[in-house]
Amino acid sequence: MVKPDGVQRGLVGKILQRIEEKGFKIVAMKLAAMPEAKAKEHYAEHVGKKFYQDLVDFITSGPSVSLVVEGRGAIAAMRKMNGATNPVEAVPGTIRGDWGIETGRNVVHGSDSPASASREIALHFDPSELVTYKRIDEEWLYE
Ligand code: DAT
Ligand code: MG
Protein backbone atom coordinates (compact mmCIF):
# COMPACT_ATOMS: atom_id res chain seq x y z
CA MET A 1 0.00 0.00 0.00
CA VAL A 2 1.17 3.49 -0.82
CA LYS A 3 0.11 5.48 2.24
CA PRO A 4 -1.45 8.96 2.07
CA ASP A 5 1.97 10.68 2.34
CA GLY A 6 3.23 8.75 -0.69
CA VAL A 7 0.14 9.72 -2.69
CA GLN A 8 0.33 13.39 -1.65
CA ARG A 9 4.06 13.52 -2.47
CA GLY A 10 3.51 12.13 -5.95
CA LEU A 11 5.50 8.95 -5.35
CA VAL A 12 2.93 6.42 -6.60
CA GLY A 13 4.40 6.14 -10.08
CA LYS A 14 7.97 5.67 -8.82
CA ILE A 15 6.88 3.01 -6.33
CA LEU A 16 4.87 1.14 -8.94
CA GLN A 17 7.87 1.31 -11.27
CA ARG A 18 10.06 -0.45 -8.69
CA ILE A 19 7.51 -3.23 -8.27
CA GLU A 20 7.04 -3.67 -12.00
CA GLU A 21 10.74 -3.61 -12.79
CA LYS A 22 11.49 -6.13 -10.05
CA GLY A 23 9.23 -8.47 -11.98
CA PHE A 24 6.40 -8.77 -9.50
CA LYS A 25 2.94 -8.82 -11.00
CA ILE A 26 0.29 -6.34 -9.88
CA VAL A 27 -2.92 -8.37 -9.79
CA ALA A 28 -5.15 -5.75 -8.12
CA MET A 29 -4.86 -2.03 -7.49
CA LYS A 30 -7.09 0.80 -6.26
CA LEU A 31 -6.92 4.35 -4.96
CA ALA A 32 -9.35 4.94 -2.12
CA ALA A 33 -9.88 6.98 1.02
CA MET A 34 -9.80 4.40 3.82
CA PRO A 35 -12.76 4.69 6.19
CA GLU A 36 -11.92 4.80 9.90
CA ALA A 37 -13.50 1.39 10.58
CA LYS A 38 -11.40 -0.25 7.89
CA ALA A 39 -8.25 1.48 9.15
CA LYS A 40 -8.90 0.12 12.65
CA GLU A 41 -9.25 -3.39 11.26
CA HIS A 42 -6.20 -2.97 9.07
CA TYR A 43 -4.08 -2.03 12.10
CA ALA A 44 -5.89 -4.26 14.63
CA GLU A 45 -2.57 -5.84 15.72
CA HIS A 46 -1.49 -2.42 17.08
CA VAL A 47 -4.57 -1.74 19.25
CA GLY A 48 -3.47 -0.42 22.65
CA LYS A 49 -0.07 0.90 21.48
CA LYS A 50 0.58 4.59 22.09
CA PHE A 51 0.86 5.38 18.39
CA TYR A 52 -2.34 3.51 17.40
CA GLN A 53 -4.71 6.48 17.13
CA ASP A 54 -2.11 8.58 15.27
CA LEU A 55 -1.68 5.68 12.87
CA VAL A 56 -5.42 5.41 12.23
CA ASP A 57 -5.70 9.21 11.81
CA PHE A 58 -2.79 9.24 9.38
CA ILE A 59 -3.89 6.31 7.21
CA THR A 60 -7.36 7.88 6.86
CA SER A 61 -6.01 11.40 6.22
CA GLY A 62 -6.13 11.11 2.43
CA PRO A 63 -6.33 8.58 -0.36
CA SER A 64 -4.00 5.60 -0.36
CA VAL A 65 -3.22 3.12 -3.13
CA SER A 66 -3.75 -0.54 -2.29
CA LEU A 67 -2.05 -3.21 -4.35
CA VAL A 68 -1.98 -6.96 -4.49
CA VAL A 69 1.46 -8.01 -5.70
CA GLU A 70 2.19 -11.55 -6.85
CA GLY A 71 5.47 -13.37 -7.41
CA ARG A 72 7.84 -15.88 -5.86
CA GLY A 73 8.82 -14.67 -2.38
CA ALA A 74 6.80 -11.49 -2.91
CA ILE A 75 5.82 -10.90 0.73
CA ALA A 76 9.37 -10.93 2.13
CA ALA A 77 10.82 -9.19 -0.93
CA MET A 78 8.27 -6.37 -0.79
CA ARG A 79 9.09 -5.86 2.92
CA LYS A 80 12.78 -5.58 1.93
CA MET A 81 11.99 -3.19 -0.89
CA ASN A 82 9.90 -1.10 1.52
CA GLY A 83 12.78 -0.95 4.02
CA ALA A 84 12.90 -0.66 7.81
CA THR A 85 9.86 0.75 9.62
CA ASN A 86 11.86 3.79 10.77
CA PRO A 87 12.91 5.50 7.53
CA VAL A 88 16.13 6.95 8.98
CA GLU A 89 17.22 3.38 9.65
CA ALA A 90 16.03 2.14 6.26
CA VAL A 91 18.83 1.39 3.82
CA PRO A 92 19.20 3.72 0.80
CA GLY A 93 17.72 2.02 -2.23
CA THR A 94 14.63 1.03 -0.29
CA ILE A 95 11.42 3.02 -0.61
CA ARG A 96 11.51 4.27 2.98
CA GLY A 97 15.30 4.73 2.83
CA ASP A 98 15.02 6.93 -0.23
CA TRP A 99 11.84 8.84 0.51
CA GLY A 100 11.08 8.86 4.24
CA ILE A 101 12.29 10.44 7.46
CA GLU A 102 9.79 9.72 10.25
CA THR A 103 8.21 6.42 11.31
CA GLY A 104 4.73 7.94 11.26
CA ARG A 105 5.23 9.06 7.63
CA ASN A 106 6.92 6.02 6.16
CA VAL A 107 5.31 6.08 2.71
CA VAL A 108 4.34 2.42 2.31
CA HIS A 109 2.79 -0.57 4.04
CA GLY A 110 3.56 -4.21 3.29
CA SER A 111 1.94 -7.36 4.63
CA ASP A 112 4.33 -9.24 6.91
CA SER A 113 3.21 -12.88 6.44
CA PRO A 114 0.97 -15.02 4.24
CA ALA A 115 -1.71 -14.87 6.96
CA SER A 116 -1.66 -11.08 7.16
CA ALA A 117 -1.56 -10.79 3.36
CA SER A 118 -4.71 -12.92 3.12
CA ARG A 119 -6.40 -10.92 5.83
CA GLU A 120 -5.42 -7.55 4.34
CA ILE A 121 -6.32 -8.53 0.76
CA ALA A 122 -9.78 -9.61 1.95
CA LEU A 123 -10.16 -6.34 3.84
CA HIS A 124 -9.32 -4.09 0.89
CA PHE A 125 -10.50 -6.07 -2.14
CA ASP A 126 -13.46 -8.08 -3.30
CA PRO A 127 -12.24 -11.43 -4.73
CA SER A 128 -13.62 -10.36 -8.12
CA GLU A 129 -11.11 -7.47 -8.20
CA LEU A 130 -8.10 -9.81 -8.32
CA VAL A 131 -7.10 -10.45 -11.91
CA THR A 132 -5.43 -13.59 -13.21
CA TYR A 133 -3.10 -12.99 -16.16
CA LYS A 134 0.37 -13.80 -17.43
CA ARG A 135 3.09 -11.21 -17.87
CA ILE A 136 4.97 -11.60 -21.11
CA ASP A 137 8.34 -11.63 -19.28
CA GLU A 138 7.49 -14.44 -16.82
CA GLU A 139 9.50 -17.03 -18.72
CA TRP A 140 12.54 -14.75 -18.42
CA LEU A 141 12.00 -14.02 -14.72
CA TYR A 142 11.56 -17.60 -13.55
CA GLU A 143 13.73 -20.66 -14.27
P1 DAT B 1 5.66 -1.95 9.43
O2 DAT B 1 4.83 -0.88 8.75
O3 DAT B 1 7.10 -1.86 9.02
O4 DAT B 1 5.08 -3.33 9.25
P5 DAT B 1 4.68 -2.05 12.15
O6 DAT B 1 3.70 -3.07 11.70
O7 DAT B 1 5.51 -2.35 13.36
O8 DAT B 1 5.67 -1.62 10.99
O9 DAT B 1 3.89 -0.69 12.47
C10 DAT B 1 2.86 -0.26 11.62
C11 DAT B 1 3.01 1.22 11.43
O12 DAT B 1 2.82 1.87 12.66
C13 DAT B 1 4.39 1.66 10.94
O14 DAT B 1 4.51 1.58 9.54
C15 DAT B 1 4.44 3.07 11.45
C16 DAT B 1 3.69 3.00 12.75
N17 DAT B 1 4.59 2.80 13.90
C18 DAT B 1 5.21 1.66 14.25
N19 DAT B 1 5.97 1.82 15.33
C20 DAT B 1 5.81 3.12 15.69
C21 DAT B 1 6.34 3.92 16.73
N22 DAT B 1 7.17 3.44 17.66
N23 DAT B 1 5.97 5.24 16.76
C24 DAT B 1 5.13 5.75 15.85
N25 DAT B 1 4.60 5.03 14.84
C26 DAT B 1 4.93 3.74 14.76
MG1 MG C 1 3.38 -4.17 10.02
So what's the pLDDT on residue 138? 97
* 106 annotated ligand-binding residue: yes
Pocket, ligand 1, Cβ cutoff 6 A: 51, 55, 85, 103-104, 106, 109, 112
pLDDT, tens digit (0-9, with 9 covering 90-100), for 75-114: 999 999 999 999 999 999 999 999 999 999 999 999 999 9
What CATH topology corresponds to 4-127?
Answer: Alpha-Beta Plaits (3.30.70)
How many Å from the N-terminal Cα to the C-terminal Cα in the chain? 29
With the most atoms of ligand 1 within 8 angstroms of its CB, the residue from 55, 94, 102 to mutate is: 55
So what's the pLDDT on residue 119? 98
Any idea of the CA torsion for 16, 19, 20, 25, to the nearest 10 degrees? Answer: -110
pLDDT, tens digit (0-9, with 9 covering 90-100), for 52-75: 999 999 999 999 999 999 999 999
Distance 110 CA to ligand 2 centre (A): 7
109 flagged as catalytic: yes
Residue owning the nearest CA to atom 8 of ligand 1: 85
In the chain, pLDDT over 70 holds for what percent of residues? 100
Going from N- to C-terminal start, the domains of the chain cover 4-127
Answer for the pair 59, 4: CB distance below 8 angstroms, yes or no.
yes
Residue 93's Cβ-count burial label (10 Å; 0-12, 13-18, 19+) is exposed
3-state secondary structure of 39: helix
**Model pTM?**
0.98
* 3 annotated ligand-binding residue: yes
Compute the distance between CA of residue 101 and CA of residue 16 in angstroms, rounded to an integer: 20
Residue owning the nearest CA to atom 3 of ligand 1: 85
Compute the distance between CA of residue 135 and CA of residue 29 in angstroms, rounded to an integer: 16
* Residue 136 pLDDT class (50, 70, 90 cuts): very high
Q: Name the residue among 32, 40, 72 with its Cα closest to residue 56.
A: 40
> Quick one: which ligand is closest to 50's CA?
1
Answer for the pair 25, 69: CB distance below 8 angstroms, yes or no.
yes
* Residue 16 pLDDT class (50, 70, 90 cuts): very high
Compute the distance between CA of residue 98 and CA of residue 87 in angstroms, rounded to an integer: 8
Distance 141 CA to ligand 1 centre (A): 32
